[in-house]
Amino acid sequence: MFSIRAVLAAGCMAALCALPQAGAAADTPAATSSPAAAQPSSAAPLPARPRIALVLSGGGARGLAHIGVLKVLQELHVPVDMVVGTSMGGVVGGAYAAGASVADLEKMARETNWARVVADRPPRDELVFRRREEDLLLPSRIEFGISRNGISTPPAAASNAALEMALNRLLPAGMRDRPASQLPLPFRSVASDLVSGELVELVDTPLFLSMRASLAVPGVFSPVRVNNRLVVDGGLVRNLPVDMARAMGADIVIAVNVGTPLAPEKELGSAIGVAQQMLQILTEQNVQRSLKEMRPQDILVAPDLTGVSFLDFENYARAMRAGEQAAQALATRLAPLALPPEQYAAREQLRLAAPALLDVALPLTRLAVESEGDINPRILQAQSGLVEGQSVTQEDVLKAAGKLYGRGDVARVESAVVDAGEQRTVTIKAVEAPWASNRLRVGLELASDFKDSNNFALKLLHVRSNLNSWGGELRSTAQIGNARGYGVQFWQPLGAGNPWYIAPQLQYTSSAMDLFDQGRRSARLAYNGQTAALVLGRQFGTWGDLQFGVTRREVKGKLAIPADPEMPELRALGTTQFVQFRVDTLDSPGFPTRGVLFDATWTRDTTTGSGETAVGQSSITGLKAFSRGNWAGHVYGEWARSQRGEAPLNLGGFLRLSGTEFQSVSGRSIALARLVMARRIGSLPSTLGGAVRAGFSLEMGGGFDQSERWKASKFTQASSAFISVDTRFGPVYMASGASKGGESTFYLFLGPVW
Active-site annotation, residues: 87, 233
User: How far is Cα 175 from Cα 105, in angstroms, rounded to an integer?
Assistant: 15
Nearest-angstrom CA–CA distance, 662 and 521? 10
The enclosing H or E element of 51 equals none
> β-strand 252-256 against 52-56: which pairing, if any?
parallel
Helices (H) and strands (E) in the chain, counts: 16, 30
Q: How many angstroms separate the CA atoms of 521 and 453, rounded?
A: 11
Whole-Å CA distances, 725 to 3, 114, 117, 364, 689:
110, 20, 21, 47, 8
- Widest CA span in the chain: 158
Distance CA 268, CA 28 (A): 72
Handedness of CA 86, 87, 92, 97 (dihedral sign): positive
Helix, strand or coil for residue 116? helix
Q: Are 602 and 618 in contact (CB under 8 A)?
A: yes
Of the candidates 189, 188, 187, 199, the one whose C-alpha atom is nearest the C-alpha of residue 229 is 199
Q: Quote the CA–CA distance of 275 and 422 in Å, as a whole number.
A: 54
Query: Is the peptide bond prior to 499 cis by the omega test (within 30 degrees of 0)?
Result: no
Contacts of 579 (CB under 8 A, 6+ apart): 546, 547, 548, 549, 601, 602
Selection from 683, 608, 587 nearest residue 126 by Cα = 587
Q: Measure the CA–CA gap between 140 and 133, rounded to whole angstroms.
A: 12
CA angle 605, 608, 612 (to 5 degrees): 70
Q: Which among 314, 261, 248, 311 is positioned nearest to 287, based on CA atoms?
A: 261
Q: How many CB atoms lie within 10 A of CB 554?
A: 14
Q: Are the C-beta atoms of residues 400 and 428 closer than 8 Å to each other?
A: yes
- Asked if residue 439 lies in contact with residue 454, where contact means CB atoms within 8 angstroms, the answer is no
| Alpha helix positions (H), 26-160 | 35-38, 65-76, 88-97, 102-111, 114-117, 129-137
Report angle CA 45, 50, 56 to the nearest 5 degrees. Answer: 175
DSSP H or E segment with residue 623:
strand 616-628
- The residue type found at 164 is E
Comparing CA positions, the residue from 429, 419, 414, 416 lying closest to residue 360 is 419
- Name which of 606, 614, 661, 612 is nearest 641 in CA terms: 614
Determine the residue type at 398.
L
Indicate left, alpha or beta for 481 from its phi (over 0: left) and psi (-120 to 50: alpha): left
Alpha carbon distance 441, 121 (integer Å):
14
CB atoms within 10 A of CB 105: 22
